[in-house]
Amino acid sequence: MTKRKTAPKAKAKAAHARKPVKTPLPAPRRSRAAGATRATARKVAEFALEKKAAEVTVMDVRKVTDVTRFFIVCSGQSSPQVKAIADHVIDSCREAGIEIYHVEGYESLRWVLIDLVDIVVHIFQPDVRRYYQLERLWGDAPAEQIDEPAAGARS
């Protein structure tokens, strides 16, 4: 039977005597849409309308969730239209100085989600929108149907 070597007691005490280093957490990422207002959400909704998005709804979810401030829900009638709406919203937001945090679903074009941090844009094909019923799911949130761009909006 062989004896195991153990660490010297001085080293063991020194290891336990170390104080943990507190590293501050980085500040949460915020886009330029941070502190988004209803006017900013409406502006982003109008970007979708410029590509003929249907049933555009702006939902104020601030009192319902802390995840985001506004949902914009709209529909495109086909994959090419959903792509055109998504591309236009992304390009127009960048031109307006609103940072795009994340885009999801662009490959399938059935439900494209564009995350602007405080505003989340959902672009659906009609059958997928009917299936998920986000307006019903978040029904406690005040919603506004946007039918046409405001006067002076670009075309």
Could you give all domains of the chain from N- to C-terminal order, each with its CATH number? 38-146 (3.30.460.10)
The one-character DSSP state at 89 is: H
* Distance from chain centroid for Cα 32: 13
Q: Report d(CA 117, CA 68) in Å as an integer.
A: 6
Among all chains, which residue has been given the structure tokens 């109008």?
A: 46
pTM of the model: 0.73
CB 44 within 8 A of CB 98: yes
Q: What is the pLDDT of residue 32?
A: 45
What confidence tens digit (pLDDT) does each residue in 70-118 have?
999 999 999 999 999 999 999 999 999 998 999 999 999 999 999 998 9
Q: Report d(CA 108, CA 135) in Å as an integer.
A: 22
CB 89 within 8 A of CB 50: no
Q: What is the pLDDT of residue 146?
A: 86
Nearest to 124 by CA among 88, 61, 79, 92: 79
Four-residue CA torsion sign, 31, 76, 146, 141: negative
